[in-house]
Amino acid sequence: MLNADSLRCATCNEEMPSLEALKEHRKASHPPSPTEDPNKNGGRKGFQCDYCVSENTLQIVILIMHFLSFVIHKSVVHTGEKPYPCDICGKAFSFIHNMKTHRLTHNEGRNEMCPYCDKAYKSKISLYYHMKKGNCRGLSTKEKI
C-alpha cells in the first residue's frame, strides 16, 4: 500500500494523487538532464535516473554489452574456435550468421527474382544490393533504393 510520502515528488516535494500522476509530474517537471560533473563517467556527459540512485544506467548497460561482445570476439576469433558447422559440407564458422550465409551457397535454385529484370539471387540481401547499386536496367534513377 502506498503512503502519502511515497506519492511526493523527491525533487520538489509536491504531493500527487496517484502514482501515475507522480510519474507524469516527474516527466514534465523534472526531465532527466545530462550530468555536468567532469569527475563522473570519465568526463563524458550522461544521464541520471530520477527513480533510482544509479547514474548513467544506459551507458553502464552499453558498456556491459560492449565488454561481452569483446569477450566473445576474443574467445572466438583469436582462439580459432568454430562452433557452427555447415550441415551439408561440414565447413565450420565462428559465427552463426556466417554459417547461414554460407548455407545459401548450397541452394541450387535462385529464388529471389528481381521484379524489374531477369536476374535471380539466392538471398534477399543480394537482390537488395542489386537494386540498391542500380545494376538493374529496369529501374529509373528515381526508383533506385
Domain total of the chain: 2
Q: Which of 77, 106, 135 is the last residue of a domain?
A: 77
**Residue in 82, 114, 80, 113 with CA at minimum distance from that of residue 99:** 82
15-58: per-residue pLDDT in tens? 888 888 888 888 888 776 655 454 554 554 555 555 555 556 66
Same domain, 55 and 14: yes
pTM of the shown model: 0.38
Same domain, 39 and 65: yes
> Where are the strands (E) in the chain, listed by range?
84-85, 92-93, 112-113, 120-121
Same domain, 126 and 100: yes
